[in-house]
Chain A
């Protein structure tokens, strides 16, 4: 089912006695989520992504704006009438019930014409359990399960009532790194199989990029950018999005545009046709560096980290805003990375220029937003 958010806003009253300004958790969120897609809500903690999820779920009411599921306005509907399944960050499995009882719980709530017979419920529960591969754990209590298994029980419980929309609140944050990789693939697989429109919240950009059809990057309650993961990565609209996506993160420099040329510090690195002279912030992705003996960007070499296929060069530059520049280059070129200084040429597509004040993107050389 497609989900439409229209100017969705949630304000919380301020706790601060001096200023009575409301805290805007979600500000003017407008977005249409296509049917059957997996959407990642991404942002640093406190950016309003969980609030957005709770608004869609119905656990909190928006201050203004509307939510549509398909063509139905569900803004005023309580959560139980919205047909949503929710997986909570701590899974919220009822500790005193077995896995099976937990999965049956939502079905036993059904009343009236939706009421199911006992055998129907059992078969639905088993079906959901099979989908997430926990059908051999049905008689266990949640405390007797590993974190990953608990998480799958939570997903089964959310799926068993066949929701139109599946919501996942930081579903992987309680798992260890290896399990996280595995589970996110499973979430992807389950979503593909069930074709349920799924929204999940995460602060881990890698997680969001790897499995989402689309990602929504939020900051301070405001949506920064919406798009396919690769597009958002390649074409961030502002410095925040550029910095938030990618590991290692983008390298940000102070720079300027003078006479249609882009300078990083005093190094003229690229042409910048058709852009007025101004101070800018320059972001260069780690993979945007090419080791070249007479390359325009000259950095002081700190060390070289060998990672097998690639090498990572850690260096410094006078105009760099962070502590150390990280660039990832092909191991074949490592012979250039000796001596006190290294010289880089840059891949134009990996060099992103932003307005110094507004931090909005400046498009140079036809490197356009698509």
Chain B
């Protein structure tokens, strides 16, 4: 028994070493950094230990802005993208002709580069000296006035960021949900039909519970992904996100490390730990809620 145990550990060793070096150690290190005040990379020195980094970060208006942006982004994009993906997948599974074409079309954004898509969105939304951008042209056509979506008011910029994020994350969700829907055994639907179940009731009482594990997986990863949003904002608003009021938590961490105002690993670590705490809390809440509604 004992011997077999040793063997098991031996087999696990490469993975444990790898994970230890590249995941556990950095995690602990970040945690330590976040309590070391004024840490300097070059000299590897710091002034003292304490919670000053946290109080600084939590009072930093840029960080508060980043938190607000991130939360708005999460609260809007996760439900909307998951709901839309569900609608589209249900529609996709109930059409026969051209289904493959539609599936391909809906999956295209997934294989397209984020920055390239950002460029397309710029063209759609950006106001330049020559044109107001495609969306504004449409707005004008319906009698609205032009809005500067990229350099304009906060809500407009947030709208573009949300639309962009939803557009980028949807293909994966549609892919997962269409396959989840396809894997529901047809006899359940037959049984429900024989019993005279209405379409809505079939959807809420049979389809949704049957695909709930996949749906839950998408919601959890969606939350985590949205909390870690950064590249999307960069693609749309450039690297100086603080100036654009469009920074996210990860963006703030990056700026603190390498940005123009960077060089503060202690603050970055504190912000990272705060992000970690937020994601952990939300995921735990998700897990608690799921116990009741997810059927494996």
Contact = CB atoms under 8 A, between A and B. Distances in A.
Contacts, number: 56
Contacts of B201: 108-109
A108 B196 CA distance: 10
B194 A84 contact: yes
A80 B295 contact: no
B187 A80 contact: no
Contact of B187 (A84, A92, A108): A92
Contacts of B145: none
Interface residues of A, number: 24
Interface string B172-216: 000000000000010110111111111001000110011010000
Interface residues of B, number: 19
- Tell me the interface secondary structure of chain A in the complex: loop
B187 A96 contact: no
A171 interface: no
Interface string A86-104: 1011101011100000000
Q: Which of B187, B196, B210 has most A Cβ within 10 Å? A: B196
A88 B190 contact: yes
A94 B206 contact: yes
Interface string B57-99: 0000000000000000000000000000000000000000000
A80 B206 contact: no
B195 A92 contact: no
B193 A59 contact: yes
A85 B295 contact: no
A94 B188 contact: yes
B197 to A, nearest CB: 5
B194 A95 contact: no
A318 B10 CA distance: 69
A271 B76 CA distance: 91
A57 interface: yes
B187 A57 contact: no
Contacts of A88: 187, 190-191
A90 B295 CA distance: 19
A86 B196 contact: no
Contacts of A59: 190, 193-194
Given A157-B195, A161-B195, 12 more contacts: A57-B194, A78-B193, A80-B196, A85-B194, A88-B187, A88-B191, A92-B188, A95-B295, A105-B192, A108-B201, A109-B196, A109-B201
